[in-house]
Chains A and B, each alone.
Chain A
Amino acid sequence: RVEGSEEDGEAPVPVTALTTLFSYGLLFAFGHFRDFFRRILDAGKSSNLKGYAPICLGYEDFYTRRLYLRIQDCFGRPIASAPDAWFDVVERHSNDGNKTLQRTTKTSKCLNLGSYNYLGFAAADEYCTPRVIESLKKYSASTCSARVDGGNTKLHTELEELVARFVGKPAAILFGMGYVTNSAIIPILIGKGGLIVSDSLNHISIVNGARGSGATVRVFQHNNPAHLEDVLREQIAGGQPRTHRPWKKIIVIVEGIYSMEGELCNLPEIMAVCKKYKAYTYLDEAHSIGAVGKTGRGVCELLGVDPADVDIMMGTFTKSFGSCGGYIAASKEIIHHLKHACPAHIYATSMSPPAVQQVISAIKVVLGEDGSNRGISGRI
């Protein structure tokens, strides 16, 4: 750690800030200028959706139309191979100034520093892929029904037990998509009359889940246990807004590794604060499960926190395990309640069986149960 580098990195140099703002202001002004002339030129034309309000009113899509379209070719680049260490990026060209992009058949081989392939399970793997293909032939690509109807196969029950054992909790429940896991679970755990205290840089799935639950949401400064304590004290003393009744329950939501900043969570101090004020903790380990910790068990192992202290641990299989879906691991009573009350479990199609098999095989490799020592010998 270089002295003073952290402070220098936080705030930009004034010259840089000024020039950036100037360029942005220039693009902004130019965009408005063009909009003005477009409105004059189009005043005579009539569109066939007369009388309907447009999909985007006013300046709602100003950024998309005038700024994003110029650099659209940097985003959404298609690839023509597995997202492995080296992959083929498909080249695109545009005839109308980046408004639309057409694919070509040319590809260029690039070093992949962009995908979430933390452990290397994204491409065909010697242990996982034969088993995945076998399960595909046996169970087919999808079960076409919800878990409670006819979508619960032996693989699903096996994976739930394996995940619970891997993470260190008594039981677990699976979902087909990580985003849905957060936005469908949080409303079940807490409702009106409860308080959610979430980190200011939490992922949008958590924000959506918190909003959908109907509970009051308060934000604490990123990774700052002192501020969290202040917020908790103020809220518990004040009670619910307007009526000042005591809160029904308080859940504090943090993430293991924050996806935008790449920082670790300050878990031991936050856990201490939550225990002191009797708040429940919800840890979202989407990026950290499988990737950190001596045996890949996540942030708890890395920072020396007992998994039994965290009330609910959530994670996804998309990143480290090269599959899709999410899980929640908690005590047996909570999982039992979730299995009976969560709409995403009762109405949504269950996880695809080959994807389940991929996670089972990947966890077995990481734990060393596949017969080789790829997991223990530090593949990470």
Chain B
Amino acid sequence: MDMALPIVNATTAALARVSAAFNAPLARAVVFGVHIDGHLVVEGLLIAVIVFQLSRKSYKPPKKPLSEKEVDELCDEWEPEPLCPPVKERSHIDPAILESAAGPHTTIEGKEVVNFASANYLGLIGNEKLIDSCVGSLEKYGVGSCGPRGFYGTIDVHLDCEAKIANFLGTPDSILYSYGISTIFSVIPAFCKKGDIIVADEGVHWAVQNGLYLSRSTVVYFKHNDMASLASTLEKLTRGNKRTEKIRRYIVVESIYQNSGQIAPLDEIVKLKEKYLFRVILEESHSFGVLGKSGRGLAEHYGVPIDKIDIITAGMGNALATDGGFCTGSARVVDHQRLSSAGYVFSASLPPYLASAAVSAVNYLEENPSVLANLRSNVALLHTG
């Protein structure tokens, strides 16, 4: 006890001296009007230690890149697959070789056969007026146009054809493409970009699917030609989504589906489109020149005004008995494609004789609406018989 007391006294005295030394100079320090206490110094030292540790590089195990010899060995060992799978004898398609025009009757291997394979809906293959206009074009312009539309590949027959089609359908303007299926898979990526929403029918054909894939937008499919499914899909997509002004939305349908032959109910689609604020892209390859009282397509068939459909595309290789395609809509829609559509800008234009064939075909359709009556009776015959 006696020894403890001086030790305690000594420790207390030492502690008092340390705290006095600690506090003394700082007790009088006032920095920027703030009284500095002792604990602030300790906290400051801690922060300095933390900063020091963070600024040191962390330890990473060293990366050993492959040596040249190892890369050589890997390259020698690698074996590629063959470029095409081996030929399977069973899956051999031998298409028939035609020896005359693909009209209603054609010749194969010397025999005359009835042709059910061509999409020659109005019977324009072999039509005199068409062939005469083609011959005139061939003698004046040659076969190919030898240039893209932007650089001296625009021939006046192209402009005439675009004006004629726009006039026929009742739209402000139209734009010609040089190949039937390239129309739809150039139009879709020109308008739909990453982040947009597209609602498409399940049964659209390959070219449309390719266009949807190339556009990199979000694609949602609805059941084939089922309006209830379309309505519920649109409802699900727009519920709670307030940013209508920023995201572009499209519905992609075909008028007559190439894969199933069904007709899309345009009046219901337009009602849904106006309710949910979507734009409609309508693929009319098989219905242009076929449906409607005067052959003007699906809009005339259902009595829908043509300006309610935003974008109409069609390939001319069916009813019009020529090749190529067109797209029509408002002036803004058509103008946008002249610089943004890959298949229009980066490719040679349609051969001029095919454009003049298209003009004659549309003229023929306007002057002889009785061909449509013929077509309808043939269709009815096939359905009953």
Enumerate A105-150 residues with CB–CB distance to B below 8 Å.
112, 114-117, 121-125, 128-129, 132-133, 136-145, 147-150
Instruction: Say whether B244 contacts A154, CB under 8 Å.
Output: no
Q: Is residue B37 contacting chain A, with contact meaning CB distance below 8 A?
A: no
With A and B bound together, what is the CA distance between A50 and B149 in angstroms? Answer: 34
Instruction: Say whether B80 contacts A208, CB under 8 Å.
Output: no
Enumerate A63-102 residues with CB–CB distance to B below 8 Å.
64, 68, 75-84, 87, 89-90
When the two chains form the complex, which single residue of A53, A103, A247 contacts B248, counting CB atoms closer than 8 Å? Answer: A53
Measured CB to CB, the closest approach of chain A to B203, in angstroms, equals 14
When the two chains form the complex, which single residue of B80, B95, B179, B351 contacts A247, counting CB atoms closer than 8 Å? Answer: B80
**Residue interface bits A140-164, CB-to-B below 8 A is 1, else 0:** 1111110111111110010000000
- Chain B neighbourhood of A166, CB < 8 A: none
Q: Is residue A236 contacting chain B, with contact meaning CB distance below 8 A?
A: yes
Q: Is residue A216 contacting chain B, with contact meaning CB distance below 8 A?
A: no
Given A177-B347, A237-B70, A348-B179, A249 and B83 touching (CB < 8 A)? yes
When the two chains form the complex, which single residue of B70, B245, B258, B348 contacts A324, counting CB atoms closer than 8 Å? Answer: B348
When the two chains form the complex, which single residue of A53, A147, A337 contacts B87, counting CB atoms closer than 8 Å? Answer: A337
Q: Is residue B22 contacting chain A, with contact meaning CB distance below 8 A?
A: no
Q: Is residue B202 contacting chain A, with contact meaning CB distance below 8 A?
A: no
Given A133-B135, A136-B131, A142-B323, A211 and B214 touching (CB < 8 A)? yes
Q: Is residue B176 contacting chain A, with contact meaning CB distance below 8 A?
A: no
Enumerate B123-156 residues with CB–CB distance to A below 8 Å.
125-126, 130-131, 134-135, 138-147, 149-156
- Chain B neighbourhood of A150, CB < 8 A: 96, 98, 102, 106, 115, 117-118
Measured CB to CB, the closest approach of chain B to A320, in angstroms, equals 10
Chain B, Cβ-Cβ closest to A188: B84
Chain A, Cβ-Cβ closest to B91: A340
Instruction: Say whether B119 contacts A144, CB under 8 Å.
Output: yes
Q: Is residue A205 contacting chain B, with contact meaning CB distance below 8 A?
A: yes
Most buried by A among B191, B279, B348: B348
Chain A, Cβ-Cβ closest to B343: A179
Most buried by B among A103, A137, A208: A208
Most buried by B among A68, A144, A317, A347: A144
Stretch from A9-17, A273-281, A290-298 at the B interface: A273-281
How many interface residues does B have (CB within 8 Å)? 101
Q: Is residue A51 contacting chain B, with contact meaning CB distance below 8 A?
A: yes
Instruction: Say whether A347 contacts B206, CB under 8 Å.
Output: yes
Q: Is residue B205 contacting chain A, with contact meaning CB distance below 8 A?
A: yes
12 more A-B contacts (CB under 8 A) besides A178-B348, A318-B146?
A79-B152, A103-B156, A116-B147, A122-B144, A143-B101, A148-B93, A150-B98, A151-B95, A237-B74, A247-B80, A337-B87, A343-B210
Pairs A–B under 8 Å by Cβ, sample size 29: A53-B249, A64-B339, A75-B150, A114-B151, A117-B146, A122-B144, A139-B100, A139-B102, A141-B125, A141-B134, A144-B318, A145-B117, A150-B96, A150-B118, A179-B179, A183-B185, A212-B214, A232-B75, A237-B71, A323-B144, A334-B84, A340-B92, A340-B93, A343-B207, A343-B210, A347-B181, A347-B206, A349-B179, A349-B181
The residues of A with any CB-CB pair to B shorter than 8 Å are: 51-53, 55-57, 61, 64, 68, 75-84, 87, 89-90, 103, 112, 114-117, 121-125, 128-129, 132-133, 136-145, 147-154, 157, 176-180, 183, 189, 203-205, 208, 211-212, 232-233, 236-237, 246-250, 277-280, 311-312, 317-319, 321-324, 333-334, 336-340, 343-344, 347-349, 352, 354-355, 358
